[in-house]
Structure 1
Amino acid sequence: MLRCSHVLCKVDDVGAVVRDYEALGFTVEYGSAPERAHNALLWFEEGPFIEFFRLPPAFRLLKWPMAAVNGRAAGERLARWARPGEGWSDLALETADTSLAGVHTALRGGDVHVSRVMNGRRERPDGALVRYQFLATRPARLPFVVSSYDPPQRPAAVHHPNGARRIGRVRFGVSDRDRAAFDKLAAHLDPDGPLTVEAAPATGVVAVELEGLNTPLDSAKVHGAALATSVEEGEAG
């Protein structure tokens, strides 16, 4: 069973994102040493998190070499990530395991088009090595799949001065042309998670709703991320 792991936001400057989100009242963690980091993480104590990442447009030239090694789905995903512009770029679904071998077999058996399982790693700011696996789906507009981090990376305690406690809902739009492919992937999803699906002209993340925010967010500092305040259960009406 897959659950919502994290939402990816493409940005132009990771350092600028960290500074801006800290000014908005969030606690943000660099993915690796700040001077060379290509991503930053906005954690919550439970549920999905947000990853801000930078990938130079030139990486789109690696589409076909990536496809040759790991499958067409992987090449198309890389090209999608390398597109210019800031904002929501992708959605990751995760397993509870550090291996994707079983998920890969299950998805292929369910007629989901996937890449080979790929191994990833990064070095944290403290020098510790983090390992994980991931696989791409086709079309590249659909969510992709990641394993659990090895070792686990979620902090035991997370405090955001602006009051944000967790992601209450991830709104994901699905177009008519992608509905059949998405439904095959959705058959493996946890139905009780924060991911909600809606009809949309284009497939992708529509918005992320945060619970607990006690201050408005300056739209000039969110780097294209559509963030909203979620109405918590028991507060409506």
Structure 2
Amino acid sequence: MLRCSHVLCKVDDVRSVVRDYESLGFTVEYGSAPERAHNALLWFEEGPFIEFFQLPPVFRLAKWPMAAVHGRAAGHLLAHWSRPGQGWRDLALETDDTSLDRVHSVLRGSGVGVSRVMKGGRTRPDGNRVRYQFLATRPARLPFVVSAYDPPQRPAAVHHPNGARRIARVRMGVSEHDRAAYDTLAAHLEQDGPLTVQTSPATGVLSVELDGVTGRLDPALLHGAVLTAPARKE
């Protein structure tokens, strides 16, 4: 039912991210008009993509109103996203449907703690409106769930000058404390996807492995993201 959609990286300034990643040989697309964008997208022709987003810490104050409207899990998710610092912040799981009503019912029925379904949207740089739905899971450290974009957003062709072709592996750590909740959610995941899970002191994305990258990626320009290349076979 669900598959790995995209990895979210919290950053301090989206415009700096776009400049730095372009200097590393990536092609990056603003989520909306560059002068007011709060997110940017690093697409691949297949599989998961990366979203960079900025969210001021003051948004943590919206935790309680968010919880009152959409459920406690939604408030916790907003607080989780708005914590200070850069780096991997979350993992999104997606479905093919543009509505999450069925997924919400199935997850809740199987014991996954979820928020109410929330509606989101943004206006692309070309002026077209994009709509989607999402829901939070409990605890907020676990992946959240998104619908398909309406209309679809993946570019037909993507070229990264540094050779990057796709995300080969998303490595996620899950703490012993969160393992039971994660396993309940993971029962609805595709089995042959790029997500690899290992026991870790804290739950969250550890690293993203890219196929095809040539040359070194300067960590100082990655804004907290941990990007690696597949190990070479001897």
Measure, in 2, the Cα distance between the counterparts of 1:127 and 1:236: 46
SS of residue paired to 2:181: helix
Measure, in 2, the Cα distance between the counterparts of 1:159 and 1:33: 21
Residue aligning to 1:150: 150
Measure, in 2, the Cα distance between the counterparts of 1:124 and 1:158: 17
Residue aligning to 1:198: 198
Give 4+ residue runs of structure 1 displaced > 3 Å after superposition. none
Listed one character per residue, the Cα deviations across residues 170-216 of structure 1 (whole Å, up to 9, x for unaligned) are: 00100000000000000000011000110100000000000000111
* Counterparts of residues 176-187 of structure 1 (less than 5 Å): 176-187=176-187
* Counterparts of residues 78-97 of structure 1 (less than 5 Å): 78-97=78-97
Measure, in 1, the Cα distance between the counterparts of 2:84 and 2:35: 22
Question: Displacement, 1:230?
Answer: 1.9
Measure, in 2, the Cα distance between the counterparts of 1:50 and 1:194: 14
Residue aligning to 1:208: 208
Residue aligning to 1:104: 104
Report the AA paired with residue 106 of structure 1. Answer: V
Report the AA paired with residue 191 of structure 2. Answer: P
SS of residue paired to 1:91: strand
Measure, in 2, the Cα distance between the counterparts of 1:236 and 1:144: 34
Question: Displacement, 1:70?
Answer: 0.1
Measure, in 1, the Cα distance between the counterparts of 2:79 and 2:141: 11
Residue aligning to 2:233: 236
Measure, in 1, the Cα distance between the counterparts of 2:20 and 2:77: 28
Aligned CA RMSD, in angstroms, stands at 0.7
Residue aligning to 2:121: 121
Report the AA paired with residue 93 of structure 2. Answer: L
Measure, in 2, the Cα distance between the counterparts of 1:226 and 1:173: 13
Measure, in 1, the Cα distance between the counterparts of 2:184 and 2:143: 12
Report the AA paired with residue 236 of structure 1. Answer: K
Measure, in 2, the Cα distance between the counterparts of 1:110 and 1:97: 19
Measure, in 2, the Cα distance between the counterparts of 1:104 and 1:48: 22
Measure, in 2, the Cα distance between the counterparts of 1:229 and 1:98: 33
Q: Structure 1 unaligned segments of length 5 or more: list them.
A: none
Measure, in 2, the Cα distance between the counterparts of 1:163 and 1:33: 27
Listed one character per residue, the Cα deviations across residues 86-132 of structure 1 (whole Å, up to 9, x for unaligned) are: 00000000001111011000000110000000000100000000000
SS of residue paired to 1:133: strand
TM-score with structure 1 setting the length: 0.98
Measure, in 2, the Cα distance between the counterparts of 1:182 and 1:114: 12
Question: Displacement, 1:236?
Answer: 3.1
Report the AA paired with residue 179 of structure 2. Answer: R
Q: Structure 2 unaligned segments of length 5 or more: list them.
A: none
Whether 2:7 is the aligned partner of 1:10: answer no
Residue aligning to 1:47: 47
Report the AA paired with residue 115 of structure 1. Answer: S
Report the AA paired with residue 183 of structure 1. Answer: D
Count of residues paired in the alignment: 234
Residue aligning to 2:65: 65
Report the AA paired with residue 115 of structure 2. Answer: S
Measure, in 2, the Cα distance between the counterparts of 1:194 and 1:112: 22
Question: Displacement, 1:33?
Answer: 0.1
SS of residue paired to 2:63: helix
TM-score with structure 2 setting the length: 0.99
Measure, in 1, the Cα distance between the counterparts of 2:233 and 2:49: 24
Measure, in 1, the Cα distance between the counterparts of 2:110 and 2:191: 17
Measure, in 1, the Cα distance between the counterparts of 2:233 and 2:23: 29
